[in-house]
Homo-oligomer: A and B are copies of this chain.
């Protein structure tokens, strides 16, 4: 199976909410989907060109000279539905923290404990962010048919952050006797 560009899915998804410039697209993906997705300019520009050639998006006059706003077409909406229906491609995880802990004896137990404490602090901040995001979205998107779907993604972030915090406690206990 030819590897599909995952970028197309995110780009078309974002454009399905409203027309945008490439720049705004990246902002939107970072700000709205940022908890579970990311795209770089290096991918967005060529992807928009490809989508334009396929007729899935149309280029309109942008907010300033030489600037373009992209609009999703009917065929683009259909293509988005197709892409969303494709089986999920799981990218192999690379967890730098766990790799360091696995070779923790080489790194040293003090360093390991520092890394875990850092991870806990990060997770606590992230958990607070998710709690606030939930409140904000509940108010701003109240009544929207998209609300329950958006809430599932925020819930995933919350559960993940909570699990991380719980894990750091157990990990510190496990390393208690380690040299």
Q: Which residues of A contact B (CB under 8 A)?
A: 6, 9-10, 13, 16, 33, 35-38, 77, 80-81, 84-85, 88-107, 111-112, 115-116, 145-146, 148-153, 155-156, 159-160, 162-164, 166-167, 170-171, 174-175, 177-179
User: Shortest CB–CB separation between residue A31 and chain B, in angstroms?
Assistant: 13
Which residues of chain B come closer than 8 Å to A35, judged between CB atoms?
Answer: 98
Which residues of chain B come closer than 8 Å to A16, judged between CB atoms?
Answer: 103, 106
Please provide the 7 A-B residue pairs with the shortest distance between their CB atoms, ordered closest to farther.
Answer: A163-B163, A104-B149, A38-B92, A88-B96, A36-B95, A36-B98, A159-B167
Q: Are A145 and B105 in contact (CB under 8 A)?
A: yes
Q: Are B6 and A94 in contact (CB under 8 A)?
A: yes
User: Shortest CB–CB separation between residue A69 and chain B, in angstroms?
Assistant: 21
Q: With the chains together, A149 CA to B101 CA distance in Å? A: 6
